[in-house]
Structure 1
Amino acid sequence: MIVTRALTKRFGRVTAVDGVGLDVGEGDRYGLLGPNGSGKTTLVRMLLGLVYATSGEIEVLGEPVPRRLGRVLPRVGALVEGPGAYRHLSGRANLRLLDAAGPGGARRDRRHRIEEALERVGLSGVDERPVRAYSLGMRQRLGLAAALLRRPRLLVLDEPTNGLDPQGIREIRDLLAELNADGTTILLCSHLLAEVEELCTRVGVMDRGRLVLQSDMAEIRSPTGQVAVRSPDADKAADLLDGRVEHRDGDRLLVRAADAAELNALLVTEGLRVTEIGVRRRSLEEVVLNLTGTGSDRLDREPQR
């Protein structure tokens, strides 16, 4: 669905995107992650033809971009850098204008498409108040409704849950999973790592313009070869497991072991109490923080000499 080869974008002396090879397959729920200033939004804007690459190649839905952009965009829904709207008009009026301006789509079906999109994002009961009276969460839902108007094959979203409360975040997550199950491929940029970890099947991590990781979520979350054990008898357990305890924090031990059940049987047979035990897996947050530096919006004071 999306392939880039050695994709690079420079703004003067600044390299915002540096030789990126992105690979988003059909049916993926792909999370594109990284700190502020890592190049995510610039990359997405190039995919949509909003910014031209300095060098490299882009294919979206099998078509070269930007050369065949006119054939690509009718099949792509996007919400990038916040929703845009005429603030003096209602949400429905904005969607009518957007639908009329877009290629394809029969006029007689316009009302149905608009009402269906509003219902899917939780705005079916919205009145005719102007968009300037909307909350941030309502504007975000309206932007997502605009992206869904043409039932896209590919959905490109930049922070789609910005401004939503926890219930709203869950609703959008469930909606994206439903759309994906119906055949829509999703490329999602987000800082909410827990949501990405729960929703996405593949992940790419950017840092300072480079794609430093691209992997299936299942591989990222594979067992580490360690078992976490919590026991009131931590001292005795540490002695029993001499050399296999790699870290200890109070009554919690991190043990080098492949089988949690086998380890539990050993401890219990020796008369030691076990209150919690499980195979340790890395979290997405741990992986991302280990791969990336500080964001570009951090300004630390230089140390005094």
Structure 2
Amino acid sequence: MTAATGATVIATRGLTKTYGRVHAVDGIDLDVRPGDVYGFLGANGSGKTTTVRMLLGLVLPTRGEVHVLGQRMPRAGRRVLPRVGALIEGPAFYGHLSGRENLSLLDASGPGGVRRTRRSRVDTVLEQVGLAGVGRRPVRAYSLGMRQRLGLAGALLRRPELLVLDEPTNGLDPQGIAEMRALLLDLHRDGTTVFLSSHLLAEVEQMATRVGVLDRGRLVLQEQLSVLTAPTGATVVTTPQPERVTATLDGRVRAVDGQRVVVRGDDPAEVNARLVAAGVPVTGLALERPTLEEVVLAAAGTSTDRVEAP
């Protein structure tokens, strides 16, 4: 591993996991940097969860290396894991115990738990995830979404430097998803690096600073989201008279889709001035940018037909 590893939070080299002849993960090189909200994307079955489990030392790789917080995993697990919060494949709790009791047990059984601060930390994370009012209720009475919130509370107990989440919005209603997004962005602003494995492109697009796309075990794309969704050099005009836009800007119209007209040129003010001068009604004007859905489909092709878009 090069000296650059010290500037990364997660770094893998040639990470591979095979089951017989099946390559669940096939030689991937992840690069997660301090302060990232890293969206790890791919269809269900693309190898995301297997990768996450290898990052945390829960599954041993067939080949390759994993470094987390600058240290080799799983060899450095005792030193690294107390600094990492994780929620993988849905949380498991004792149904007859309350959420508060489950979190206390989780803290006591994990590495690095501090008894004298346990009560205050449990109170804090229950408040953070919106369960302060039901923390004493038995978990068997929790909905799926409430269990997911409790799982995130468990991941936050140690105030982690790195938060690793596998489908954290599973089971949440739209309001719960929005609240989860706000919480993760708050944590990110406070300095936590977030590694978010998901197949929900709309949610990741609202949070991620950097994305990696996994397709059938291979990492087919890894880049800053701002680069991937940068303006294309075209302007999108919305108008009830698209035929007049075509007539006015002859030769510059690249595509027409209903009232949406894509015009070559990255100066919306110039496009608008020409259309207004010609008496063409304009109801919307914006630079064209590819969506994350378009980027992922271009990178992974038809195998992402199981990836949920908005």
Asked if Structure 1 and Structure 2 have the same fold, meaning a TM-score greater than 0.5 normalized by the shorter chain, the answer is: yes
Contact between 2:85 and 2:156, CA under 8 Å: does it hold in 1?
yes
Structure 2 counterpart of 1:269: 277
Structure 2 counterpart of 1:233: 241
Answer yes or no: is 1:200 the counterpart of 2:208: yes
- Per the alignment, do residues 227 and 297 of structure 1 end up closer, same or farther by CA in structure 2, a change over 3 Å counting? closer
Q: 1:85-100 to 2 correspondence within 5 Å? A: 85-100=93-108
Structure 1 alignment gaps of length 5 or more: 299-305
Structure 1 counterpart of 2:253: 245
Contact between 2:44 and 2:199, CA under 8 Å: does it hold in 1?
no
- Per the alignment, do residues 273 and 16 of structure 1 end up closer, same or farther by CA in structure 2, a change over 3 Å counting? same
Contact between 2:241 and 2:259, CA under 8 Å: does it hold in 1?
yes
Structure 1 counterpart of 2:148: 140
Query: What SS is found at the alignment partner of 2:97?
Result: coil
Distance (whole Å) between structure 2 residues aligned to residue 114 and residue 73 of structure 1: 19
Query: What SS is found at the alignment partner of 2:43?
Result: coil
Structure 2 counterpart of 1:302: none
Which deviates more from structure 2 when the two are superposed, residues 58-67 or residues 258-267? 258-267
Structure 1 counterpart of 2:138: 130
Relative to the length of structure 1, the TM-score reads 0.94
- Per the alignment, do residues 294 and 95 of structure 1 end up closer, same or farther by CA in structure 2, a change over 3 Å counting? same
Q: How many residue pairs end up in the alignment?
A: 298
Query: What SS is found at the alignment partner of 1:129?
Result: coil
Relative to the length of structure 2, the TM-score reads 0.92
Structure 2 counterpart of 1:112: 120
Distance (whole Å) between structure 2 residues aligned to residue 275 and residue 104 of structure 1: 58
Opposite residue 72 of structure 2, the aligned amino acid is: P
TM-fit CA distance, 1:127: 4.8
Q: 1:136-215 to 2 correspondence within 5 Å? A: 136-215=144-223
Distance (whole Å) between structure 2 residues aligned to residue 128 and residue 112 of structure 1: 15
Please list every run of at least 4 consecutive aligned residues from structure 1 whose deviation after the TM superposition is greater than 6 angstroms: none
TM-fit CA distance, 1:297: 7.3
Contact between 1:157 and 1:187, CA under 8 Å: does it hold in 2?
yes
Which deviates more from structure 2 when the two are superposed, residues 239-248 or residues 153-162? 239-248
Query: What SS is found at the alignment partner of 2:286?
Result: strand
Structure 2 counterpart of 1:9: 17
TM-fit CA distance, 1:296: 9.1
| Deviation readout 1:12-65 (Å, 9 max, x if unpaired) | 100011110000001111110110111111100000001100111110000001
Distance (whole Å) between structure 2 residues aligned to residue 54 and residue 182 of structure 1: 36
Q: 1:22-101 to 2 correspondence within 5 Å? A: 22-101=30-109
Opposite residue 35 of structure 1, the aligned amino acid is: A
Contact between 1:30 and 1:202, CA under 8 Å: does it hold in 2?
yes
Structure 1 counterpart of 2:297: 289
Q: Percent identity?
A: 63
Distance (whole Å) between structure 1 residues aligned to residue 195 and residue 240 of structure 2: 46
Distance (whole Å) between structure 2 residues aligned to residue 276 and residue 229 of structure 1: 6
Contact between 1:117 and 1:148, CA under 8 Å: does it hold in 2?
yes
- Per the alignment, do residues 141 and 232 of structure 1 end up closer, same or farther by CA in structure 2, a change over 3 Å counting? closer
- Per the alignment, do residues 85 and 281 of structure 1 end up closer, same or farther by CA in structure 2, a change over 3 Å counting? same
Opposite residue 298 of structure 2, the aligned amino acid is: N
- Per the alignment, do residues 12 and 297 of structure 1 end up closer, same or farther by CA in structure 2, a change over 3 Å counting? farther
Contact between 2:69 and 2:80, CA under 8 Å: does it hold in 1?
yes
Contact between 2:238 and 2:260, CA under 8 Å: does it hold in 1?
yes
| Deviation readout 1:52-97 (Å, 9 max, x if unpaired) | 0011111000000111111110100000000111122211111111
Larger helix fraction of residues: 2
Contact between 1:31 and 1:187, CA under 8 Å: does it hold in 2?
yes
TM-fit CA distance, 1:276: 1.5
Contact between 2:210 and 2:222, CA under 8 Å: does it hold in 1?
yes
Opposite residue 3 of structure 1, the aligned amino acid is: A
| Deviation readout 1:173-206 (Å, 9 max, x if unpaired) | 1111111111111000122212211111111111
TM-fit CA distance, 1:295: 5.3
Structure 2 alignment gaps of length 5 or more: 1-8
Query: What SS is found at the alignment partner of 2:273?
Result: helix
